[in-house]
A and B are shown apart, each in its own frame.
Chain A
Amino acid sequence: MFCDRAIELVRELHRAPEGQLLAFNEDGLRQVLEEMKALYEQNQSDVNEAKSGGRSDLIPTIKFRHCSLLRNRRCIIAYLYDRLLRIRALRWEYGSVLPNILRFHMSAEEVEWFNHYKKSLATYMRSLGGEEGLDITQDMKPPKSLYIEVRCLKDYGEFEVDDGTSVLLKKNSQHFLPRWKCEPLIRQGVLEHVLW
């Protein structure tokens, strides 16, 4: 039946758990576009037939194909737009540099969209005043305490704290560090907040 492939695309998204970005289904997209082309061409010829040959019995079929075309378009746009929203969420989760695994799941145009988005966001944040603006991708949770106990999950190297002293972040070492400094590293997976 028509629109099967389009519905498959949407179903694929529906199956993926919240926020997860699967590989870009280029084949699926191409197939839906091909179906649309075929439907359109059939409609073109039928419309000509109906007009010149007086075949008004073709009109229901034409309408039906048109509905399928609209459905296909809607499904495609839903698929693409939903993926954009997931990609947008990645910027807020991982920061400007995405892990490679995720980049492989994105198409070239999606990567371009992502780059434009993060540039727009950066421009906006910089304009918020002060010297460098305000990074609103930080401070995602209300601050409970000034310093937190963190454990290092990977070797990171030297890390400078506010008053000039630096700490060596080696795997499995634990430190008591200012919360606002740790937040980006926690999100990147370098540090882990130790809760007693």
Chain B
Amino acid sequence: MATVSVCQYQPSGFSFENCKRNALLEADCAKFGFNAPAARKTGTTICGIVFKDGVVLGADTRATEGMVVADKNCSKIHYISPNIYCCGAGTAADTEMTTQIISSNLELHSLTTSRLPRVATANRMLKQMLFRYQGYIGAALVLGGVDCTGPHLYSIYPHGSTDKLPYVTMGSGSLAAMAVFEDRFKPDMEEEEAKSLVRDAIAAGIFNDLGSGSNIDLCVITKGKVDYLRPHDVANNKGVRTGSYRYKRGTTGVLTKTVIPLNMEVVEESIHTMDTS
């Protein structure tokens, strides 16, 4: 008795078959009051500027899951190569993985060419990957670094378009940060002035956007040196409690005290060795 099995055509790329099922399940669950878990986004303020000797990248440190803060001190400035760093906004997992993949590929590329990688190379790799996924990878990035051709700054959007500019902001707090940049940016600033400007721009995002908060991280990249300042500025200190609710020993009087020892005997003892070679 032979069964005829037809070879199923396997389409390449993403399969969206479960989306309808998920939507129906969600609607059913909502009747009982259960909500589907939300993807963790870094509703964020990230920005970067080019100054005289290099670039300064800045980011806040809040990661949100819906309306709840999931991580009060997450790191949004990711390492790409010794001279290139990347801030990420959007879905936290997407930015983390994307930057790690490109960092790994760039290291191999750098070993093949025996040269320090260029920012334009990282930009090309990121935009080609994001375009290939047609915006389904929710990663909005600010890429900055210093290479043999000088300091460069790029902003990269989830659909794969990029802009090369002297100052960029991304994330939900980008409008607040951009307002600060448009007011005070000047070309060829000194390092301290640039750091202060980025710090103020991120602070504007933190205080005026609900999705951004906590501390300010900075990353200053110059030729041959990277200063990863985490945290650069603790903008939001956790409040100090003015009173203590602890009661001193003896506040409650002891009336009686009874001690009952529990006698236990060892029934069985066995040792399992772990292979840690």
Report if A and B associate in a common complex: no
Q: Hey, which bits of chain A sit against chain B, CB under 8 A?
A: none
